[in-house]
Structure 1
Amino acid sequence: MTTTVVGVDGSPDSDLAVEWAAADAARRHRPLHIVHAYLSPFVAAQVAVPTSGGFEPVLRAAAEGTLGAAVARASSVAAGLDITTDMPAGEAPAALLDAARRAALLVVGCGHAAMAGLLPGSVSRAAVHHAACSVAVVK
């Protein structure tokens, strides 16, 4: 069975992407895989975040909250949907492109990526130009 992957960052555009992806996955009888890269390259480069202690537990807790909210939102759109999650540490574009290698569809919002320290729309641009599957950009 193929999977629908959706990238989340907790932004309003990300919330819309989760809702769209959940509804589409339910229509196509696909599982939904929600991905949130929790350690931004901006923070790692500027603060030298250690792998234990320091900011890492705070970043991980925030990421878990973001994923939990996304799962709740997806479940409210499509009850009974098979949902999995992943929290890879690293850059959002790389994490999503890796997940998309095994997917039928990658769904992303068209946000500003302010938390990731990236240029506006850089995640959606990377998805559109480099994903190994179909891509939906939700705005």
Structure 2
Amino acid sequence: MARHIVIGVDGSAPATAAVEWAAADAQRRELSLRIVHVCQQRPLDVDTTKYCARALAAAADRARDLTRGVEVTTQMLSGNVVDTLIGESASADSVVLGSRGLGGFAGMVVGSVSMGVAGHAAGPVVVVRATSAVRHGLVAVGYDGSEHSETAMRYAVDQARAREVPLHVVYAWQASILSPYAAAYSSLLEDACEQEMQAAGERVARWRDRNPDVAITDETVVGHPVSVLIKAGGTADLVVVGSRGLGGFASAVLGSVSHAVLHHLTCPVAVVRPREGEEPR
């Protein structure tokens, strides 16, 4: 099992928030920290190496200030930022990034690097927008029974256990409109909704039985998954989603729900992909 968290930094404020989040996570889960900076030469710069070194040193100092007994290492890397961070994810417990870096447009909520890594990394990618002084004492996870959501559930349970907080599981079911006269099918729709809720409850019950030390609550809502997860994120310290769910195309690396959640939630979001050969619990 990987025993370190990779943090990608570039000296931006969101990257500093990512360091602070990862430091707390490493302390709770007894992991080490590997802080990396992908140093790219820019045409108008004589040498960016000194800036890269300062960004790394500042991030390491911040991580050490916030932890006790956590091993902190740094490395300056070269190459394409997204590809390099994806490569780092293969041997890491998780990758933690700021929502956007110095190269992004000011109006963007999530930058291209964060989106690219979240869509292709080998394991969990946590995207942090800003440090928050508010603690809700809750982890939320979107769970629809798909392979990706099973892996997301495992990460969410581990996070809730390490934080000693409840885990709230949400499932959004979208009823199909059968015809322009759907009112005539109200009884059929009610039966289908009841069956969906029962199946969702049974899926969560299995996780509850296997993890009696974690308080797990669940909620099935008729509505769009994005709006349901955004609402859940308003009272959560972390929202966990699979990189794509049951409604996604098999070829999609990042589903529309996880994509939208990254863009709309202000709390940290973990996007989780199953590792190759990984068996859901």
TM category, shorter = 0.7 to 0.9
The aligned counterpart of 2:152 is 17
Q: Is the 8 A contact 1:8 1:67 kept in 2?
A: no
State the match for 1:7 in structure 2: 142
Cross-structure match for 2:264: 130
1: CA distance between counterparts of 2:139 and 2:205?
Answer: 14
Q: Structure 1 runs of 4+ off > 4 angstroms?
A: 46-52
The letter for the 2-side match of 1:8 is: Y
Paired residues for 1:21-32 under 5 Å: 21-32=156-167
> Where does structure 1 lack aligned partners over 5 or more consecutive residues?
none
TM-score where L is the length of structure 2: 0.43
- Compare relative contact order (CA 8 Å, sep 6+) and give the higher one, 1 or 2: 1
Displacement of 1:127:
1.2
- RMSD of the TM alignment (CA)? 2.3
TM superposition shift of 1:75: 4.4
Greater mean alpha carbon deviation, residues 97-106 or residues 58-67: 58-67
Matching residue of 1:91: 224
Mapped to 2, the partners of 1:122 and 1:113 lie a distance apart of 11
| CA contact 1:18–1:74 (8 Å) conserved in 2 | no
Secondary structure of the 1:37 match is strand
1:72-87 matched pairs, under 5 angstroms: 72-73=206-207, 75-76=209-210, 78-87=211-220
TM-superposition CA deviations, 1:38-58 (whole Å, max 9, x none): 224xx23x5465594112322
1:101 lines up with 2:234 in the alignment = yes
Q: Structure 1 residues 80 and 52, CA, compared in 2 at 3 Å: closer, same or farther? A: farther
**Unaligned residue ranges in structure 2 (runs of 5+):** 1-135, 274-281
Aligned position for 1:36: 171
Deviations 1:81-121 (A, max 9, x none): 11111111110010010011010000000124428xxx860
Q: Matched residue of 2:207: which SS?
A: helix
Q: Is the CA contact 2:239–2:268 (under 8 Å) kept in the aligned structure 1?
A: yes
Residues matched between the structures, number? 132
Deviations 1:53-84 (A, max 9, x none): 112322331233123213422542x3221111
Q: Percent identity?
A: 30
Distance 1:131 1:113 in 2: 21
Higher helix share: 1
Letter in 1 for 2:167: L
2: distance between equivalents of 1:35 and 1:17? 12
